[in-house]
């Protein structure tokens, strides 16, 4: 089900771009949802404030089939890497190869600007690669910084991911208002019923 243009129906937004891309799939009371099931959903994702912030200034990439296909390739790679990050051991070489395939279509070009300060610019083979490349680059930054803070929601019925920025690193839920409260209610009910 594709949302109306401009409406972002996802329950969790604002995560780093790699995880925000993973969170374009979620489970609702009426079953699974996928914001990227069409170019219309892609347009909603591309226009969302967290994505615009991560992609930076400049024109919004085109919400067409090529951009969508490349973004889905990145999401598949990131999904496998996030699953591997949640369990002991390393990611499979083919999972890294998928992400590296996305990364091979862009680069950061560094130059010395006219005022003597370094300038970094992202260059991609084709504009349709830009969102996928930025999401893959976001993953690299998360893994380089604190890979142990990349987490799936502790609710087994939830498929969302987050980057734990809490001071003590003990966040467990995609949101306290949703999955966290449900877990607390289930524990309370279990105590009261003697189970």
Assign 3-class secondary structure to 64-107: CHHHHHHHHHHHHHHHHHHHHHCCCCCCCHHHHHHHHHHHCCEE
Q: What was the pLDDT predicted at 188?
A: 41
d(Cα 54, Cα 106) in Å, to the nearest integer? Answer: 16
Instruction: Give strand pairing partners of 4.
Output: none
Q: What was the pLDDT predicted at 190?
A: 53
Residues ≥6 apart with Cβ < 8 Å to 43:
5, 63
Q: What was the pLDDT predicted at 88?
A: 72
Instruction: Tell me the whole-structure pTM to 2 decimals.
Output: 0.86
CA dihedral (184, 190, 194, 195) positive or negative: negative
Instruction: Give strand pairing partners of 34.
Output: 25
Whether residue 14 contacts residue 50, with contact meaning beta carbons closer than 8 Å, is answered with: yes
Instruction: Supply the DSSP string of 129-189, one letter for each residue.
Output: GHHHHHHHHHHHHHHHH-GGGEEE-S-TT---EEE---TTS---SS-IIIIIHHHHHHHHH
Q: What was the pLDDT predicted at 56?
A: 79
d(Cα 130, Cα 17) in Å, to the nearest integer? Answer: 12
Whether residue 80 contacts residue 90, with contact meaning beta carbons closer than 8 Å, is answered with: no
Whether residue 99 contacts residue 74, with contact meaning beta carbons closer than 8 Å, is answered with: yes
Q: What is the pLDDT along the chain (195 residues), one digit of tens a residue?
A: 555 556 899 999 989 999 999 999 999 888 999 999 999 999 999 999 888 888 877 777 999 999 999 999 999 999 999 998 877 767 788 989 999 999 999 999 999 999 999 999 999 999 999 999 999 999 999 999 999 999 999 998 899 999 999 999 999 989 866 686 664 555 545 556 665
What's the CATH code, domain 17-193?
1.10.3300.10
Q: What was the pLDDT predicted at 2?
A: 52
Give domain limits for the chain.
17-193
Strand positions, DSSP E, 4-51: 25-28, 31-34
Q: What was the pLDDT predicted at 178?
A: 67
For residue 63, the SS3 value is coil
d(Cα 60, Cα 48) in Å, to the nearest integer? Answer: 11
């Amino acid at each position: 089900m594709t949302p109306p243009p401009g409406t972002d129906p996802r329950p969790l937004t604002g995560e780093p771009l790699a995880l925000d891309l993973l969170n374009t799939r979620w489970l609702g009371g009426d079953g699974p949802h996928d914001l990227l099931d069409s170019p219309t959903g892609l347009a909603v994702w591309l226009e969302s404030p967290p994505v615009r912030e991560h992609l930076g200034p400049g024109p919004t990439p085109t919400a067409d089939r090529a951009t969508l296909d490349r973004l889905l390739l990145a999401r598949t790679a990131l999904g496998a890497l996030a699953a591997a990050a949640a369990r002991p051991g390393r990611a499979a070489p083919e999972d890294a190869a998928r992400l590296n395939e996305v990364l091979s279509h862009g680069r950061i070009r560094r130059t010395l600007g006219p005022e003597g300060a370094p300038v970094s610019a992202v260059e991609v083979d084709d504009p349709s690669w830009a969102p996928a490349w930025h999401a893959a680059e976001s993953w690299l930054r998360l893994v380089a910084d604190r890979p142990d803070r990349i987490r799936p929601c502790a609710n087994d019925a939830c498929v969302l991911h987050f980057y734990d920025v809490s001071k003590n690193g003990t966040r467990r839920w995609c949101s306290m208002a949703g999955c966290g409260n449900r877990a607390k209610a289930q524990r309370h009910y279990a105590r009261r019923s003697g189970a």
